[in-house]
Amino acid sequence: MLLGVNIDHVATLRNARGGDEPDVLTAAKICEECGASSITTHLREDRRHIKDNDVSNIKRIIKTNLNLEMAVTDEMQAIALKYKPHSVCLVPEKRQEVTTEGGLDAASQIQRLSEFIVPLKNAGIEVSLFIDPAREQVEAAAKSGAQFVELHTGSYSLAYKTINESKEFKKLKEAAKIAHDFGLGVNAGHGLNYKNVIRMHDIPGLYELNIGHSIISRAVFVGLEQAVNEMLELVK
């Protein structure tokens, strides 16, 4: 399994004072040098953490893949076509949410997604849909023309070590199987940390995990390099 590191929260900290510290480019470089397979950033409509020039600068300086999380809007599509990240992950976005709350409802907008995805794929950008681990969402992702799904691990992460853990884990495992049967690549992420990440090894064929908050939080105490290396050891 590969590890993509989401560095949004380095930008959150930077923006708290409006200056340029901590530098997101340095963070991207450190993650890359440790062996992260991609650097993930979410350019939100309100630009609350990552800004447009962060995306262009990260794309310019990293050698590994840039994975751009974004909403299904014309504005974001134009930005993706301009900066040409390696991949985009389409996410739902609500203005007031603290973080991405649920998966994209692909099942209710297959036509819209199909049209949205075509120019991205034509530009050589790999397209992933961030969805809840449910059969209808996986099927819709396949019908929309996406090449990957990223399974939302938030409910599993919250249920970890509770009576609901096995139920939530089973949903992920089944959804991954369905996605693979459709020929989709399967990534996973949201809420994963140094403990609950272990069970991701029990989902056959997971390609990449996208992890942000737990790594950046640990980096406050041990430094980013060590935080990424520790997670890489668990993910490899």
Residues acting as catalytic residues? 42, 69, 190
Nearer to ligand PXP, 137 or 210 (CB): 210
Task: Out of 61, 114, 213, 230, name the contact with ligand PXP by CB under 6 A.
Answer: 213
Residues 67-126 that bind ligand PXP (CB under 6 A): 69, 89, 91, 99-100
**Binding track over 27-56 against ligand PXP, x by CB under 6 A:** ---------------x--------------
Q: Which of 27, 48, 56 is nearest to 39 (CA)?
A: 27
Exactly one of 87, 137, 196, 210 binds ligand PXP (CB under 6 A); that residue is: 210
Query: From the CB of 227, what's the least distance to ligand PXP, in Å?
Result: 12
d(CA 100, CA 95): 10
Cβ contacts of 19 within 8 Å, gap of 6 or more: none
Nearer to ligand PXP, 122 or 206 (CB): 206
Number of CB atoms found within 10 A of residue 69's CB = 27
Applying CB under 6 A, what is the total number of residues that bind ligand PXP? 19
Whole-number minimum distance, CB 191 to ligand PXP, in Å?
5
Closest CA to 141 of 101, 181, 170, 169: 181
Q: Where are the alpha helices (DSSP H) in the chain?
A: 8-17, 24-34, 52-61, 74-83, 110-122, 135-144, 154-159, 165-181, 213-222, 224-235
For 178, other C-beta atoms within 10 Å of its C-beta total 20
Residue (83 or 214) nearer to ligand PXP, CB: 214
Residue 215: CB minimum distance to ligand PXP, A: 7
Stretch that binds ligand PXP, among 56-64, 109-117, 208-216, 218-226 (CB under 6 A): 208-216
The least distance separating ligand PXP from the CB of residue 177, rounded to whole angstroms, comes to 20
- Give the Cα separation of 108 and 231 in Å (integer): 35
* CA–CA gap between residue 72 and residue 56 (Å, rounded): 19
Query: 26: phi > 0 → left, psi -120 to 50 → alpha, else beta; which?
Result: alpha
For ligand PXP, the binding residues in 125-144 under the rule CB under 6 A are: 130
CA atoms within 13 A on the CB side of 146: 36
DSSP 96: T
- Minimum gap (Å) between residue 186 Cβ and ligand PXP: 13
Residues forming contacts to ligand PXP in the complex (CB under 6 A) are 6, 8, 42, 69, 89, 91, 99-100, 130, 150, 189-192, 210-214
